[in-house]
């Protein structure tokens, strides 16, 4: 059958969205092309009309996921009191809702360890996205110098990603809730700028 002019473009976009969710739910290696296409109502062969390879899809999906998280962070920051951005970020990131929905939240806790085993092209996309995310956080961090601020951004990002990873892996729900709640409190008191803590 013939399709409307924009049809292929739309299919590709939907495929990309679905894949970037699936990757975060099930991991990169565990997500299969055939099942992905089946869930789109298509057959596996059609995949290669949209992406050169699974690796190509992984790389493209990573860009998409970083862009999504960037949007979410921007929104969280936009809705916060000036000077309270770190609280906004932490309270947005370390929620039970995000714990339950890896497919809709930051890729770092779910995919970063698997990315270490990916081919260079994929890791480069990751590296760029990661560096940009750190840069975005840096401007809201406390610190005497730009370098100190950036280091705090790294610490916060590593702490939040590690915390979310732990909260998801642990089988005891109450323990998981506590991990998140206490980490929110901790990171806010560590990284909310001094000026605001006194206000």
Partner DNA sequence: TGTACATCAGTGAACGCGCGTTCACTGATGTAC
Distance CA 105, CA 160 (A): 12
Q: How many CB atoms lie within 10 A of CB 15?
A: 22
State the nearest-atom distance from the C-beta of 152 to a second copy, in Å: 8
b/e code 31-59 from CB counts within 10 Å (16+ = b): bebeebbeeeebeeeebeebbeebeebbb
* CB nearer DNA, residue 45 or residue 74: 45
Q: Is 11 in the site for a second copy (CB under 8 A)?
A: no
List the one residue from 83, 154, 177, 196 that touches a second copy (CB under 8 A). Answer: 154
Angle made by CA atoms 147, 121, 18, in degrees to the nearest 5: 100
Check binding of 81 to DNA (CB under 7 A): no
Residue 67 within binding range of DNA, rule CB under 7 A: no
| Tokens matching residue 119 | 């081919």
Residue 49 or 147 with smaller CB distance to DNA: 49
Compose the 22-61 pattern: x for residues touching DNA by CB under 7 A, - for all others: ---------xxxxx-x---xxxxxxxxxx--xxx------
- The per-residue DSSP string of 79-112 comes to TS-TT-HHHHHHHHHS-HHHHH-GGGS-SHHHHH
Span of 5-13, 66-74, 117-125, 172-180 interacting with DNA by CB under 7 A: 5-13
Q: Which CB atom, from 70 or from 186, has the smaller least distance to a second copy?
A: 186
Site for a second copy in 36-95 (CB under 8 A): none
Q: Does 195 bind a second copy (CB under 8 A)?
A: no
Please tell me the distance from the alpha carbon of residue 83 to that of residue 93, in angstroms, as a whole number. Answer: 18
Chain contacts with DNA (rule: CB under 7 A): 1-4, 7-8, 11, 31-35, 37, 41-50, 53-55
């Amino acid at each position: 059958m013939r399709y409307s002019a924009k049809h292929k473009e739309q299919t590709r976009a939907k495929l990309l969205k679905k894949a970037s969710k699936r990757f975060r739910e099930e991991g990169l290696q565990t997500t299969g092309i055939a099942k992905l296409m089946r869930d789109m109502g298509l057959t596996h062969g059609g995949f290669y009309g949209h992406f050169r390879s699974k690796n190509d899809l992984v790389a493209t999906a990573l860009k998409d996921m970083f862009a999504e998280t960037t949007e979410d962070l921007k929104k969280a920051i936009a809705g916060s009191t000036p000077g309270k951005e770190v609280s906004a970020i932490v309270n947005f990131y370390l929620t039970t809702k995000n714990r339950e929905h890896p497919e809709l939240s930051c890729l770092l806790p779910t995919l970063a360890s698997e990315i270490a085993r990916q081919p260079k092209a994929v890791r480069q996309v990751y590296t760029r996205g990661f560096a940009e995310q750190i840069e975005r956080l840096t401007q809201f961090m406390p610190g005497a110098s730009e370098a100190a601020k950036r280091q705090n951004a790294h610490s916060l990002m590593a702490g939040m990603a590690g915390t979310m990873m732990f909260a998801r892996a642990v089988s005891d729900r109450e323990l998981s809730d506590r991990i998140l709640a206490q980490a929110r409190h901790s990171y806010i008191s560590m990284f909310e700028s001094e000026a605001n803590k006194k206000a």
